[in-house]
Structure 1
Amino acid sequence: MIRLSKVSKTYQTDKVETLALKDIDLHVEKSEFVCIMGPSGCGKSTLLNLIGLLDRPGSGAIHVAGAPVASYKDKHVAKLRNNTFGFIFQSFHLINDLRVIDNVELPLLYRDLSAKKRQRLAREALEKVGLGARMDHYPNQLSGGQQQRVAIARAIVGQPQVLLADEPTGNLDSKMGQEVMDILLKLNSEGTTVVMVTHDEQEAKLASRIVRVFDGQLVA
């Protein structure tokens, strides 16, 4: 599904060069649940961003569904990212001035879909995460756990093949965090590939595979 080969990433400023990742070899199979773990600043989020095509590597190759991404123009990368990936972040990144259903609909604005179909898909995604009754609410009228469920609905509304989750329970209490994990596990059981960054060992044990990063490199 996704293959990284000898991928490295360096961030350059006027005075400092920081090596974020070095020689990463990683293959994520279709329908896997892969958990990425490691200490703060080790490169976990950078790795997730590269997998999701939010950033480009300094060297090495990334293949998605067998296709080398380096050969794609920016507009093709954006289309591939929108069609293939759904993103869930620790901070929910919801727009408070928009209703819940409008927040969920946002990724579909980049697709050639009618307004009626976008609304239908958004309603279905909200039903899937148990928030069908809250679609006309605004984010600040919801609890933290409910806001994260809205963010998950937004991530899955386009029926992505891969969900990328960066500390999705980091801002939640244990009960709400478990609710979010239950949703991710259910989506994975239905065939969605999940790649998640977490510090939580108990959550990581629920994944099918744990990948550990230390100082920008994969470790056993």
Structure 2
Amino acid sequence: MIHLKNVEKVYRTSSIETLALSNINLHIQKKEFVSIMGPSGCGKSTLLNIMGLLDAPSQGTMELDGNPVNNFQDKALARLRNEKLGFIFQSFHLINDLSVLDNVEIPLLYRRSSARERRLLAQQALEKVGLSNRMSHFPRQLSGGQKQRVAIARAIVGRPEIILADEPTGNLDSAMGNEILSILQQLNSEGATIVMVTHDEAMAKRTHRLVRLFDGSQVL
């Protein structure tokens, strides 16, 4: 499903060159749940951004469903992100002035879905994460764990094939972190392919496979 071959990422300024990723070769199979671990600054989020089509490799190739995406134009990349990918972030990235239901609907606006369809799909996504009784609340009225569940509902509202999660339990206590991981495991059992960046070894061991990075390279 996701295939990276000889991927390198270099960030350059006028005076500094930083190698973020070096010679990454990684294949994520359909319906896998894969964890990515490594110390801070080792390239985990950069790798996730490349897989999520938010960044492009400096060298090497990235394929999605067997199709090389390196030369895709911005419009085509945006369409793929909206149709195939769901993103979960450590910091939730909810809009405080919108209700929970309106936050979850946001990805569907880019698909030009009807208001009725947006509302129905958002309600279904919130029911799936156990927040059907919080639809009219605002983010400031929620706990950290509830905010993350809203973020998961937003990620899955478009029924993406792939979910990319960047430290989804990083801001939560262990009990709530376990709840969030259980939701991700359930989504995986229903067919979603999941790639999760984490610092938590215990969480990583509950996924199918662990990929370790160190200084931008895979630890083999």
Deviations 1:127-146 (A, max 9, x none): 00000010000000000000
Aligned to 2:116: 116
2 CA distance for matches of 1:8 and 1:115? Answer: 42
Code of the residue aligned with 1:181 in structure 2: it is L
Q: Determine helix, strand or coil for the equivalent of 1:93.
A: coil
Code of the residue aligned with 1:106 in structure 2: it is I
Deviations 1:138-163 (A, max 9, x none): 00000000000000000000000000
Given the alignment of the two structures, is residue 132 of structure 1 paired with residue 161 of structure 2, yes or no?
Answer: no
Q: Determine helix, strand or coil for the equivalent of 2:194.
A: strand
Code of the residue aligned with 1:61 in structure 2: it is T
1:23: Cα distance to partner? Answer: 1.0
Code of the residue aligned with 1:111 in structure 2: it is R
Aligned to 1:177: 177
Given the alignment of the two structures, is residue 200 of structure 1 paired with residue 186 of structure 2, yes or no?
Answer: no
1 CA distance for matches of 2:2 and 2:84? Answer: 11
Q: Determine helix, strand or coil for the equivalent of 2:70.
A: helix
1:73: Cα distance to partner? Answer: 1.3
- TM-score where L is the length of structure 1: 0.99
2 CA distance for matches of 1:166 and 1:35? Answer: 10
Ranges of 4+ aligned residues in structure 1 off by more than 3 Å: none
Superposed, 1:5-154 pairs within 5 Å as 5-154=5-154
Code of the residue aligned with 1:5 in structure 2: it is K
1:70: Cα distance to partner? Answer: 1.7
1:113: Cα distance to partner? Answer: 1.1
1 CA distance for matches of 2:212 and 2:71? Answer: 29
- TM-score where L is the length of structure 2: 0.99
2 CA distance for matches of 1:20 and 1:103? Answer: 33
Task: Count residues with an aligned counterpart.
Answer: 220
Identity within the alignment, %: 65
1 CA distance for matches of 2:75 and 2:154? Answer: 22
1:120: Cα distance to partner? Answer: 0.4
1:93: Cα distance to partner? Answer: 0.4
**Structure 2 unaligned regions, length at least 5:** none
1 CA distance for matches of 2:153 and 2:9? Answer: 31
1:81: Cα distance to partner? Answer: 1.0
Q: Determine helix, strand or coil for the equivalent of 1:196.
A: strand
1 CA distance for matches of 2:72 and 2:46? Answer: 20
1:19: Cα distance to partner? Answer: 0.3
2 CA distance for matches of 1:130 and 1:51? Answer: 29
2 CA distance for matches of 1:108 and 1:83? Answer: 10
2 CA distance for matches of 1:36 and 1:198? Answer: 6
**Structure 1 unaligned regions, length at least 5:** none
Code of the residue aligned with 2:36 in structure 1: it is I
1 CA distance for matches of 2:81 and 2:61? Answer: 16
1:74: Cα distance to partner? Answer: 1.1
Q: Determine helix, strand or coil for the equivalent of 1:95.
A: coil
1:14: Cα distance to partner? Answer: 2.1
Deviations 1:20-59 (A, max 9, x none): 0011100000000000000000000000000000101111
Code of the residue aligned with 2:92 in structure 1: it is F
Q: Determine helix, strand or coil for the equivalent of 1:77.
A: helix
1:112: Cα distance to partner? Answer: 2.8
